[in-house]
Amino acid sequence: MAILSINNLTFRYKNKFVFDNFNLEVERGSWVTIAGPNGAGKTTLVKILAGLEKSYADITIFNKPLNKKNMYDIRREIGFVFDNPDNFFACETVEDELAFSLENLGVFPNTIKKKIKDVAKILKLDDLLKENPCDLSGGEKQKVALATALMLEPRILVLDEALLMIDVKERDEILKTLKEYNKQKRVTILSFTHNLEEAIYSDRLIILNKGVITIDGAFPEVFSEERVMRKIGLEVPFAIELSEKLKVYNIIDHMELDLERLVSLIWK
């Protein structure tokens, strides 16, 4: 069942068209990565979904049309995490930042405390709870922004280059954590990125270029179109390239995207 559907989206900035009759359906509980080079339209699409840009489209989320009347209810159940968390923090400590939205909703302090503990554990933020979010590194700030979104237990998590500043090792751990979260809580993840490595745990990968879906398929089979990805300027992850070659030589029998597992398969 579709949790989100966009029909006939046409959008332009002044006289520059970004989308012309764009359509997309996202299944409930799936993890969909929308990847594309700079200028593809990713941020514009996120802004439209967040109600920050107005569009004339038929957009339905949680079976409700996205319009002025429903915007607040719909947005309450979507966690948006943007690329630059600097403009985002309102509180003096990470702990207060995590509590902020739930306090505004009148949630009991004990419930909030427990949630902070759980989310901090998931994202390994325990040591940062008393820090000022503005003093943290870029990667830490992004983790706090993600944690803030998880505090509200969203039905859809929208990530807009949300892991860009987190170092590779930690990013991979967060991606794994998000996959568990996606499976256990049936949270739909819609991840926008220029980095195909972030698609590793997706169910579906969509390649967007100049406002048009050029590739759309199950992951990782969709990588058979790697030439198209290169052509539009996307870097194909090393594990994908290597897997492809090892399959040709019958050294492995399936695509393996996790480099550690790939290495152990080769050494078997």
Residues near ligand ADP (CB under 6 A) are 13, 16, 18, 36, 38-44
* Residue 54: CB minimum distance to ligand ADP, A: 13
Q: How far apart are CA 67 and CA 74, in angstroms?
A: 9
* Residue 131: CB minimum distance to ligand ADP, A: 30
Nearer of residues 112 and 159 to ligand ADP, judged by Cβ = 159
Nearer of residues 170 and 216 to ligand ADP, judged by Cβ = 216
Q: How far apart are CA 75 and CA 83, in angstroms?
A: 18
* Residue 9: CB minimum distance to ligand ADP, A: 13
Other Cβ atoms within 10 Å of 113 Cβ, number: 12
Nearer of residues 16 and 268 to ligand ADP, judged by Cβ = 16
CB contact at 8 A, 109 and 162: no
* Residue 231: CB minimum distance to ligand ADP, A: 16
Nearer of residues 34 and 147 to ligand ADP, judged by Cβ = 34
H-helix segments, the chain: 42-49, 71-76, 94-104, 109-122, 138-151, 168-184, 226-231, 238-248, 259-266
Q: How far apart are CA 127 and CA 125, in angstroms?
A: 6
